[in-house]
Every structure is written in structure tokens, then in C-alpha cells.
Amino acid sequence: MIQAVNNFTFIVRDSEQHESNGLIIPQQGVEKPHTGKIFSVGELVSDKKIEAGKLAIFHKGNGFTIEYGGEEYLIIEGERIIGIDDWSEQ
Amino acid sequence: MIGANNKILVEVDLDQKDTITIGGITLSTAGKFDTNYREKSPTVAKVIKGNDTVHSSDILLCHHNLFYMPSPYHVEGNLFSIPFSNILFAKIDAEGNITPICDNLICSRIIIPTDLPLPPEHQKTYDKVYNVEIGNEKYFKDDIVFTRPSAGYDIVYVVNGQEKRITKVDSTHICGVLRK
């Protein structure tokens, strides 16, 4: 399994919405979601609430993507994550 | 004379451009790579006064932006006093073996598997994903490392008429690792 290092976080971005009110939106016109499931967290990420398996919220334009093994990962620095959806606190 | 503030003294042939030969080792740019790869000229320098890691007469492979005129590192003639940091990539011995220094790794690109029997020139490689060939104390041989964009620095060198291709990766640019 891929392990993030330093202050980086690997995120699997949520799937894109290609349909709105029955209209199919072309691939180029779809804005990528700003949420995704945290896949792996580097050892230098200071906020310990950022954990694998949680849902992360981030601004668009942050990070970069890497494709490997048929999966696309968004790589983002831990401090760029602006929110965590923590189901355990609800 | 010795280097101050963690600097080492090196001698450089400032006329080297696309190709340089020192001690029977010829280094050249990666002209045959695709345009989306970095095609920069690594620079070869000979150590005059080194430190615990590099010693006198060692041949170093350095970043292409280190040696130009006027340079803040220039001492006199072909002599430069350069910082001992990750802009120094590797040492090359007389047989052409490369030893990475200063947190750098020697890696190779990974070909994207395909069912089509493609000739080598049409095979594509992963972007930002490398296989470690020569590691350090943190990353080891055969680790697969994931890096920031443009972290790979492709180098072609010829030893005894044999062309070798490597990719230098700064380990501080690594964001993930996959161990087998």
C-alpha cells in the first residue's frame, strides 16, 4: 500500500457528477469535487484529526494528481486541508 | 584555501555544453527524451578541496545552474566554491558508477503496462512515479516513490562506449512511497 511521507496526504477524490436535472454535462464542463477520502497521511502532518478513511475538504487548485495502478490520487499538503468530516463525533 | 560555510572547492570546465568528458566518462544531455521531460545539462566538476563525503579529485555531477559567469560562487579561473547541498547530485567513479549524495536518489522511470506490444520508443512511463535504483538511509532499492511535479532530472552518460540513462530525484520532493 502507498504510504504518504513528510507533510503530504494522499486523497482519493470523490467521483464527479456528470448529470444535473437530467442533463448530461460534458467532461470538460464538470467541476471536480473538493472532497475526497483520505487514503494515507504523512508522518509530518501536524493535525492528528487528519486520518486515513476520513472525508477531507479542500480548496480547488490545491495539490497535484498522480495516476498509478489504475487509481488517481490527489496529493495535497496536510495544512491545505480545510475540513474533516468526522463521523465518529456525530 | 578551503571552502567556508559548508562550501567545497571545485574545478569546472566552463566550456562544457551538451557534452563533457572527464576521466573517460562522457556526459550528455537527454536529447532523446520526450519534450515533457526535463532536458537540462548536468555539469561535471572535479573536487579540489572537499569534506567528509567528497574528497579531492572526486568527480561530481552538479545542477546545471551552478556554474555561470558572473557567479557568486566564482573564486578565480575555473575554481568555484559551491555549497554542499542537494544541488550536488552524485559522485562518479572511474568505472562510471554513480553514488548519489546530499539526499538525492538515483531512480528509473516505470513503464506503464499495456496489452499492446509497443516498441520501446512508443512506450509511456508514469509521471511523478519512479523506481529507486540507488537509495539512501530512508529510501531503498526497488522502492516506488511518488514525487512532486518536475522532481525527476534525466541524465544520460556514456562510459566505455556504453550509454546509461538514470533519473535523479531529490528525496525531499518525495510525497509517498510504495514498498514491495
Structure confidence at residue A19 (pLDDT): 67
- Expressed as residue numbers, the domain containing B108 is 7-178
- Cβ-nearest to A10 among B128, B148, B176: B176
Cell numbers linked to A57: 475538504
User: B147 CA to chain A: closest CA distance, Å?
Assistant: 9
Q: Which of B126, B149, B174 faces A68 most closely, judged by CB atoms?
A: B126
Residue where the block lists cell 490527489: A74
Structural domain count of chain B: 1
Q: What is the mean pLDDT of residues B164-178?
A: 90
A73: which chain B residues are within 8 Å (Cβ-Cβ)? 146, 176
Identify the band that residue B33 occupies on the pLDDT scale cut at 50, 70 and 90.
very low
What are the grid coordinates assigned to B46, written together? 572535479
Distance CA A2, CA A8 (A): 12
Q: CB count, 10 Å around CB of A35?
A: 14
Whether residue B76 has pLDDT greater than 60: yes
**Matching residue, cell 498509478:** A68
B176/A75 CB distance under 8 A? yes
More confident residue, A28 or B132: B132
Summary mean pLDDT of chain B: 82
Query: Residue B128 is nearest to which of A3, A6, A66, comparing CB atoms?
Result: A66
> Does residue B75 fall inside a structural domain?
yes
Report pLDDT digits (tens) over A29-82: 666 778 899 999 999 999 989 999 999 999 888 899 999 988 999 999 999 999
Cβ-defined contact of B177 to A40 (cutoff 8 Å): no
Report chain A residues whose CB lies below 8 A from the CB of B125: none
**Cβ neighbours of B115 in A, within 8 Å:** none
Break chain A into its structural domains and give their ranges. Answer: 8-15+26-89
The topology (CATH level 3) of A8-15+26-89 is: 10 Kd Chaperonin, Protein Cpn10; Chain O (2.30.33)
CB count within 10 Å of CB B90 equals 22
pTM of the model: 0.81
Other C-beta atoms lying within 10 Å of the C-beta of residue B123: 13
* B94 in any annotated domain: yes
B88 inside domain: yes
Domain assignment of residue B163, yes or no: yes
| Cell of residue B24, nine digits | 573517460
Determine the residue among B110, B140, B175, B178 to mutate to test chain A binding: the one whose Cβ has the most chain A Cβ atoms within 10 Å: B175
Closest-CA residue in chain A for B127? A66
Residue B1 included in any domain: no
